[in-house]
Structure 1
Amino acid sequence: MKKEFTVIGLGRFGGSVCRELIDAGMDVLAIDRDEDRVNEFAQIATQAVIADTTDETVMRKLGVRNFEHVIVAIGEDIQGSILTTIILKELGVKTITVKAQNDLHEKVLLKIGATHVVHPERDMAKRIAHHMISNNILDYLELSEEFSIAEVASTTEMAGNSLLDLNVRAKYGVTIVAIKRNKENIIISPSAQDVIQAGDTLIIIGADEAINRFEQDLQ
C-alpha cells in the first residue's frame, strides 16, 4: 500500500529525501518557495507546488493535513521551520519529521510538537569521524544521546572464537545483535555458540562510552 508524504524544502537534504521516496513508489507532494526547485521535481513528484508554508491558509488549501507524514527540510530559515512545524501540528498532521540546524533548534522543535528531529550534517560527521578514528568501525548510527549502533569489522584475533568466548557484553557492555557474513548472509540475534569467521562484520549496540572502549581494544 502506497504511503503519502509531503516534503517541504527541496534543497540538498529535502531533495534527496523526495527522490528516495519517489523511487520507492510513494506518493509525494513536493513544496518549496523557489520556482526552479519546484520545476525540477514537477516531472517526478506526484505534485510539486510553489508555496509559503508559513501561511496556514495556504497549507489548508494544499490539503497537507491529509498526508500521513510531512518532512520539513527548510534550509537556513529557522523561523520558517518553526512556524511551519507549528502549523502542521495545529492541522493535525500525525507524523512530522524536521531537519534541525542546531541543538537549540531541535529543543524548540520537540517542544512545539515535532515527532522526529534529524541532524543530517552532524550525524554524517559523526559517522565519518568514527570511521577515521578506527579502521574497524565501518558505520556508526546514533540512536539517542547516549546509545548508538555500529558496524565493526572483526579482527583476526576474534576468528574462531564463539560469542560466549568473546563475552563482549560482560567485558565492554555492548551487545552483538547481528553478524554479517560474506556481504549476503546476515545472522540475526546470534546465539552464544555462534563462531566468528574471518571477514565477519559485527553489528553492535550499546552506550557510546561502551562502544568507545570496545573500539579502543580493537586497535
Structure 2
Amino acid sequence: MRKNFAVIGLGRFGGSICRTLSDEGFEVLAIDKNEERVNAYAMIASHAAVGDTTDEAVLKSLGIRNFDHVIVAIGDDIQSSILTTLILKELGVNHITVKAQNDYHEKVLVKIGADKVVHPERDMGRRIANNMASSSVLDYLELSDEHSIVEIVANSKISGHTIIDLDIRKKYGLNIVAIKRGMDIIVSPKANEDIRANDVLIVIGTDEDIDRFERKVMQ
C-alpha cells in the first residue's frame, strides 16, 4: 500500500509539500486553521480540513493517527508547532517531520520526539516532498521555479537498455547528464551506453517532465 500523508500548515512551505505529494498521486490530508488557505487546497489534496491542531480532540476527530507520515509546517507560531508535535507524538503517529524556525526550536522538537526536523531556508519544500514520496529519487535540486536536477535509481524497466533505446530526451524532454555506477561517474554518457540495474541517473529537465517520467517509468 502507498503511504498517506497529512500536512499541517498550508503556507508556502506546507503548501509546496501538499501540492507535490498530491501531484505524485498520494493521499494527502491538508489542515490549517485558516479557512481561506484550506479552501485553496480543497481541490488539490485528497481531503482538506479547518482545525486548530493544538487541540487533541481536533486531531483525533481527523483520524490523524491513521496517517503514515505527518508534516508539521506551521509558520511563525513556534508554540503551536511544539504543542502540535507533542500531541502527535502522544497519539502515536508513526513518522513526524517538523519545520523549525531556528536552532532553539529544532532542539526542542528533537527533545519531544520529532523524527525529522527541517529548515525551509536550507531544504526547499519540493525537495523534501520528493524524497519522502519516492524510493527511486535519491536527491532533488531546484535550479529554478520550473527546472531541477534529480538523481534517479535505474529500475527493471530501464536497466538493460541503452540511452538511445529509451529515447528519454524525445519522449520526456529530459537529459541524462551523468551516470553514477558504484564508485565511477560517467559524465555526458554516449547514446549507446547501457543502463545497468542500480545505476544512478543524474537527470535534468522541467519539474513537469521529471514528474511525468517518474510516474510512467519509475513506479
TM-score by length of 1: 0.60
Larger relative contact order (Cα-Cα within 8 Å, sequence gap ≥ 6): 2
Q: How far 1:123 moved relative to its partner? A: 4.5
1:183 maps to what in 2? 176
Instruction: Tell me which stretches of 4 or more aligned residues in structure 1 moved more than 4 Å.
Output: 194-198
SS of equivalent to 1:114: coil
> Is 1:45 paired with 2:45?
yes
Distance 2:32 2:16 in 1: 14
Q: How far 1:197 moved relative to its partner? A: 7.3
CA deviations 1:126-182 (Å, max 9, x no partner) are xxxxxxxxxxxxx79xxxxxxxxxx9xxxxxxxxxxxxxxxxxxxxxxxxxxxxxx7
1:81 maps to what in 2? 81
Amino acid paired to 1:187: K
SS of equivalent to 2:70: strand
1:69 maps to what in 2? 69
Moved more, 80-89 or 43-52: 43-52
1:36 maps to what in 2? 36
Are the aligned partners of 2:30 and 2:38 in contact in 1 as well (CA < 8 Å)?
yes
Distance 1:35 1:195 in 2: 51
Please give the residue correspondences for 1:1-219 in structure 2 after superposition, counting only pairs within 5 Å.
1-123=1-123, 183-191=176-184
Distance 1:53 1:185, change over 3 A: same
Distance 1:197 1:51, change over 3 A: closer
Are the aligned partners of 2:179 and 2:187 in contact in 1 as well (CA < 8 Å)?
no
Distance 2:26 2:66 in 1: 15
SS of equivalent to 1:92: coil
Distance 2:178 2:123 in 1: 27
Distance 1:186 1:31 in 2: 40
Distance 1:67 1:196, change over 3 A: closer
Distance 2:47 2:123 in 1: 30
CA deviations 1:60-103 (Å, max 9, x no partner) are 11100000000000000000000000000000001000000000
SS of equivalent to 2:121: helix
Distance 1:3 1:61 in 2: 20
TM-score by length of 2: 0.60
Are the aligned partners of 1:72 and 1:96 in contact in 2 as well (CA < 8 Å)?
yes
SS of equivalent to 1:120: coil
Distance 2:88 2:186 in 1: 50
Distance 2:181 2:82 in 1: 40
Distance 1:17 1:93 in 2: 19
SS of equivalent to 1:82: helix
Q: Point out the structure with max Rg over C-alpha.
A: 1
Are the aligned partners of 1:2 and 1:25 in contact in 2 as well (CA < 8 Å)?
no
CA deviations 1:3-44 (Å, max 9, x no partner) are 110000000000000000000100000000111100001112
Distance 1:195 1:24, change over 3 A: closer
Aligned length: 143
Distance 2:187 2:43 in 1: 49
2:168 maps to what in 1? none
Amino acid paired to 1:43: M
